[in-house]
Amino acid sequence: MQRYQPQTATDHQLLELIRKDHRGAFTELYNRYWDKLFTVAMHRLNDEHEAEEVVQEVFLSLWQRRASVQLTHSINTYLSVAVKYRIINHLDKQYRKKQHIEHLTISSPLGEDSTNRWLSEKELRAQLEQSISQLPEKCRIVFLLSRDEHKTNAQIAAELNIAEKTVEAHMTKALSTLRQSLNLSVPILIYLLGK
């Protein structure tokens, strides 16, 4: 059996060792990529603690899935995309938390009719967020990048390393699923998504 020294091993060789529970190889991989991944996370989140948390989660996930992880690209690409997905999930949670706080602090509109209208819109928004959270992961990530970060299909495709047609398919599926699950007409759905 070929034996590698973690410090001189290629990324591919490190991954082979990690699959065999080699902690030294995992530490070497961690040391090689920590700074780069942290920089990416810090740039997007602008919070040192949250950036560290995101990168730690990626490495923890890799270690937990070490026996079954299959890479179609380099480990560098795998880790970069994994960090981007975690960042998106993190931003999604922050957005939901912010929305929840805003709902709690909004003062009730005056008048019974406007109160009912406000409550029904609030309920619709809650249902919309619930429906978004139930979309398949990649579909949801693409949708949130488009809705919350106002990215174009081309930008999303480049960021997630997928084809632009795939982005379009995810967006179509997301909008169709949301429209059906909420039983809304397209204009009302667009109104809710735009606010």
Is residue 153 included in any domain, yes or no?
yes
How far apart are the C-alpha atoms of 172 and 168, rounded to whole Å?
6
Residue at a domain's end among 70, 87, 104 = 87
Helix axes 153-160, 164-182, angle to 10 degrees: 110
User: Residue 111: which region, alpha, beta or left (left: phi > 0; alpha: psi -120 to 50)?
Assistant: left
- pLDDT above 80: residue 11: yes
User: Residue 66: which region, alpha, beta or left (left: phi > 0; alpha: psi -120 to 50)?
Assistant: alpha
Q: What mean pLDDT do residues 145-154 have?
A: 84
> And the tokens for 112?
């019974």
Q: What mean pLDDT do residues 55-60 have?
A: 91
On the 0-12 / 13-18 / 19+ scale of CB atoms within 10 A, 129 is middle
- pLDDT above 60: residue 60: yes
Is residue 131 included in any domain, yes or no?
yes
Is the distance from CB of 49 to CB of 38 less than 8 angstroms? Answer: no
For residue 179, the enclosing domain spans 116-195
pLDDT the model gives residue 91: 79
Count structural domains, the chain.
Answer: 2
- 159-172 tens-digit pLDDT: 889 998 998 898 88
Highest mean pLDDT among 10-14, 68-72, 120-124: 10-14
Is residue 98 included in any domain, yes or no?
no
CATH at 142: 1.10.10.10
The pTM assigned to this predicted structure is: 0.51
